[in-house]
Structure 1
Amino acid sequence: MAELHVLSKRIGIKLKQQSQVLVTAESCTGGGISYAITEVSGSSEWFDRGFVTYSNDAKMNMLGVKLETLEQYGAVSEQTVQEMATGALLHSNGTSSIAVSGIAGPNGGTDDKPVGTVCFAWANESKDIKFETVLFNGDREEIRIQACSYALEKLEDILDS
Structure 2
Amino acid sequence: MTSAPEVVAALIAAGTTIATAESLTGGLLCATLVDVPGASAVVRGGVVAYATELKAQVLGVDAAALARTGPVDGFVAEEMARGARSRLRAAVGIATTGVAGPGPADGFPAGTAFVGIAADWIEGGARHVRLLVPGDRPAVRAGVVAAALDEILSALAEHTRPVGS
Answer whether TM exceeds 0.5 for this pair. Answer: yes
C-alpha distance in 1 between matches for 2:150 and 2:42: 17
- 2:108 is aligned to 113
Tell me, in whole angstroms, the C-alpha distance in 2 between the residues paired with 1:121 and 1:143: 16
State how far apart, in whole Å, the 1-side matches of 2:125 and 2:55 are. Answer: 21
5+ residue gaps, structure 1 = none
State yes or no: 1:128 paired with 2:125: yes
Aligned match of 1:25 in 2, 8, 21? 21
Distance 1:109 1:64 in 2: 23
Which runs of 5 or more residues in structure 2 are unaligned?
A: 159-165
Question: 1:100, CA displacement in angstroms?
Answer: 0.7
Q: TM-score, normalised by structure 2?
A: 0.89
Equivalent runs, 1:93-108 vs 2, <5 Å: 93-108=89-104
Question: How many residues are matched?
Answer: 156
Distance 2:4 2:115 in 1: 17
In 1, Cα distance between equivalents of 2:105 and 2:134 = 13
51, 57, 61: which one aligns with 1:61: 57
Indicate the larger mover: 34-43 or 124-133.
124-133
Whether the 8 Å contact between 1:106 and 1:140 is mirrored in structure 2 is yes
The correspondence for 1:143, drawn from 133, 140, 143, is: 140
**Per the alignment, in what secondary structure is the counterpart of residue 85 of structure 1?**
helix
Could you report, residue by residue, the CA deviation over 1:97-154 in whole angstroms, capped at 9, with x for unpaired residues? 11110101113336x5211100111111345212121111100010000000111012
Q: Could you list the structure 1 runs, at least 4 aligned residues long, displaced by more than 3 angstroms after superposition.
A: none
CA RMSD of aligned residues (A): 1.6
How far off its partner does 1:159 sit? Answer: 1.2
TM-score normalised according to structure 1 size: 0.91
Partner secondary structure for residue 13 of structure 1: helix
> How much has 1:74 moved relative to structure 2?
0.8
Distance 2:44 2:82 in 1: 15
